[in-house]
Amino acid sequence: MADMDVGDKLCLMGLEDELTCSICLCPFDCPVTIPCGHNFCQDCLLSTWRESYTCPQCRTHFATKPTLTKNTVLSTVVEAFKMKSNQSESGWTGGGLEEDLPKELKEAEPFKTEAVPAATILCDTCMEVVASKTCLTCMASYCAVHLRPHQENLIFRTHQLTEPLGDLSERICPEHHKMMDFFCVSHSRCICSFCLQQVHKGCTFSTPDEQKGLKQSDLRGKSSLLQSKIQKNLNVISQMNDMQTKIKDSASSKKSALEAEYQQMRELLDSELHTAMTTVDHEQANAQTSLQRLSKKFAQNVAQMTAAKECINSLLGQSQTVAFLQASVDLPAAVSFDPYSPRITLDSKAVMGSYAFAAVLKEHLMHLFQQPTEARLQMLKPELNIAMCVTGEMPLLPVPGQPRHLRSPSPGAPLRAGQARKPPRQKKDQTEKSQKTDKQGKKPSKNMKAAHSMENLLDMTFKEMDCTLKETPRGRPQAKEPKEKPEHSGIPPSITSAAKRTELLQYGTVLTFDPKTAHKRIVLSEEFTKATVSDEPATYPDSPSRFTVCTQVLSSKGFARGRHYWEVKMSSNNFIGIGIAYNSMDRKGPSSRIGRNSQSWCVEWFNVKLSAWHDGSETVLANNSPKRVGVLLDCEDGACTFYNVADRAYPFHTFVFPFTETVYPAFWIFSSGASVGLCTLQA
């Protein structure tokens, strides 16, 4: 062993990792080989074999304890390695003294690292020549010359060679200084074989290459997802740009159509003004002609009576008695009539009719313009609504190139002088037919769909108006802060929680709808206990208590004290509101819808959403789609609770407010054919 040449010394020094026990991380001491082919120190291996017999390196399990035999060849190599390691401590660390170096290494020029690119991997032995391979076992890179031992010596046949790598230090475990050949999936980090046996024992692992492939596949999927989302967003942006162009063109056309409509209305008003002025001028000419004729007649009478007076005066001056007595004087016929001032005015039927029409039209327009835009069309023609114009059933504005259709007078509009009011058309057969169609379960009519669209538009408009009123620009009053609601008290807990219906029936009361408050599209039936929305307006007399904008109705009975309970059965869970209101709430303005003012409270089913409304503030609730709703009003404690009535009474919302006036049950129905009914309370 002492006569080994320098090449053998170098070969032995490169086998440090292979001559190290993977358990104690020291050179082998009495190495033994187990059936799987791995070598360990005998004492180290026996210390791990206490309960089971498993290879610490490849984790191969043996049913019985294998017979251990000393590896004599490996023991000899270890001895030689130890001897050369001791010699290297006093000389060059590469394996031998400086005089033992090969001739080509002694004559080599100094390092010229500056001529080598930064990204080039050099040989770890000579540090001059570019490396051709990297040994993952030795954890070093070699040029073609220094790679020969790995290619020719059989001792290195198990070493793993790969293309030159520059990140070898990153592949070494910082704790065990071993190659990190595994990837712990549980902890998402690269580990070595010792980490796998100790800290990460029992974890799921794979190879770094497998994990790299999985991560690359995942990143490609994410990249593909991002690309698809980017494309979709770009498509939406393009669609919105096109939509902006279309909206701009549509707004321009609508502005032109509106300007044409109002221009024609101005022309009509100018024509009416000219007609009225001509009528007044004609009446003035007639009156003046009559006065001139009468003045001429009276002037003739004055001349005749003056001549008669002069004749009498001449006769009175006669001195002869016989001649005086024989003379006679005849008075003109005008003497028998008293003169009078004729009552000629311009208050003829034509003039008064024109003036009355102008005054009433002005008053009607002022009242009409005070209403929200969505309510004006229904005031003019109740059988139409904005939704019909939006869906194309009847255009709101004229289409260029098409003939204009004259609008019929609205039921409340004043008539011109001499114009007879047409009797209302009877649609009883059509109403009965539509009711039969609804009962048979056929598809809803276009009017019903239009009603839904109209309600959406109304709701959006009300919200926008509320937001506008609540804005606080300079010179406008700020919106009132919401009042704090007192805590719920006074009502027994057994009532406010899911309770037996009999506990609520003890407060039961009998209600009927008040026809004086019902909107004209609400038809009351079954002795005023059922309210249904109809397309044909009812012939209710005008009343200051009647709702004119929203299809609502109040009950005929109000409550100021005590507890009261009633139940309402709904035909559907859409476009229906149930609540309470003061009698002083608005009946005509945009805030006349229950829940949109401070005088009313309601729960409302709108499309698929259930909300609680008060003073324009919305609280979205869980929609349990009840068919029968119970309402418990406690006037003493100022609370109103709504129940889903089924096998028991399940409360789903409570309003708590100190009521200052008498409150009335209130109902809002919009969908055509929808109805609510006041139930007869029975246990």
pLDDT in tens, 536-573: 888 899 889 999 999 999 999 999 999 999 999 998 88
Residue found under tokens 């009446």: 283
Question: Has domain 489-678 been given CATH number 2.60.120.920?
Answer: yes
Task: Please give the pLDDT value at position 14.
Answer: 57
Least confident piece of the model among 38-52, 358-372, 495-509: 495-509
Residue found under tokens 């399940």: 650
**pLDDT range class, residue 498, cuts 50, 70, 90:** low
Task: Please give the pLDDT value at position 52.
Answer: 83
Nearest to 22 by CA among 173, 232, 184: 173
Average pLDDT rounded to a whole number, residues 517-522? 94
**Cα–Cα distance list, 563 to 183, 598, 658 (Å):** 73, 22, 14
Rounded Cα gap, residues 553 and 546, in angstroms: 8
Task: Please give the pLDDT value at position 25.
Answer: 80
Average pLDDT rounded to a whole number, residues 208-220? 89
Residue found under tokens 């009840």: 626
By the 10 Å C-beta count (0-12 exposed, 13-18 middle, 19+ buried), 121 is classed as middle
How open is the CA angle 164-169-174, to the nearest 5 degrees? 150
Break the chain into its structural domains and give their ranges.
1-107, 255-370, 489-678
Q: At what angle do helices 373-380 and 349-370 cross, to 10 degrees?
A: 140
Average pLDDT rounded to a whole number, residues 11-19? 64
Rounded Cα gap, residues 307 and 193, in angstroms: 155
Rounded Cα gap, residues 256 and 254, in angstroms: 5
Least confident piece of the model among 136-140, 277-281, 400-404, 428-432: 400-404
Over the stretch 631-669, which tens digit does the pLDDT of each residue have?
A: 999 998 899 999 999 888 899 999 998 888 999 999 999
Task: Please give the pLDDT value at position 500.
Answer: 75
pLDDT at 1 over 60: no
Least confident piece of the model among 291-300, 392-401, 598-607: 392-401
Task: Please give the pLDDT value at position 454.
Answer: 41
* CB-based contacts of 133, cutoff 8 Å, min separation 6: 141, 142, 147, 150, 161, 162, 163, 164
Task: Please give the pLDDT value at position 127.
Answer: 81
pLDDT at 126 over 60: yes
Task: Please give the pLDDT value at position 59.
Answer: 81
The CATH superfamily of 1-107 is Zinc/RING finger domain, C3HC4 (zinc finger) (3.30.40.10)
Instruction: Among 182-196, 230-244, 288-302, name the most confident range.
Output: 230-244
Over the stretch 134-146, which tens digit does the pLDDT of each residue have?
A: 887 787 889 988 8
By the 10 Å C-beta count (0-12 exposed, 13-18 middle, 19+ buried), 375 is classed as buried
Q: Do 114 and 121 form a contact (C-beta atoms < 8 A)? A: no
Question: Greater confidence, 158 or 101?
Answer: 158
Percent of the chain past pLDDT 70, that is, above it, reads 75
Question: Greater confidence, 146 or 342?
Answer: 146
* pTM recorded for the entire structure: 0.33
Average pLDDT rounded to a whole number, residues 584-592? 88
pLDDT at 403 over 70: no
Task: Please give the pLDDT value at position 99.
Answer: 43
Rounded Cα gap, residues 510 and 679, in angstroms: 9
Rounded Cα gap, residues 164 and 139, in angstroms: 11
Task: Please give the pLDDT value at position 599.
Answer: 94
Q: Do 344 and 287 form a contact (C-beta atoms < 8 A)? A: yes
pLDDT at 243 over 90: yes
Average pLDDT rounded to a whole number, residues 202-229? 90
Tokens coding 639: 């609370």
Task: Please give the pLDDT value at position 438.
Answer: 46
Percent of the chain past pLDDT 90, that is, above it, reads 28
Task: Please give the pLDDT value at position 439.
Answer: 42
* CB-based contacts of 71, cutoff 8 Å, min separation 6: 31, 32, 33, 39
Task: Please give the pLDDT value at position 386.
Answer: 55
How confident is the prediction for the chain on average, in pLDDT? 77
DSSP string, 461-516: HHHHHHHHHH---TTSPPPPPPPPPPPP-SS-HHHHSSB-HHHHHTTB----B-TT
Over the stretch 418-469, which tens digit does the pLDDT of each residue have?
A: 344 444 444 444 444 444 444 444 444 444 444 444 444 444 444 444 443 3
Q: Is 420 left (phi over 0), alpha (psi -120 to 50) or beta?
A: beta
Q: Do 33 and 155 form a contact (C-beta atoms < 8 A)? A: no
Task: Please give the pLDDT value at position 182.
Answer: 87
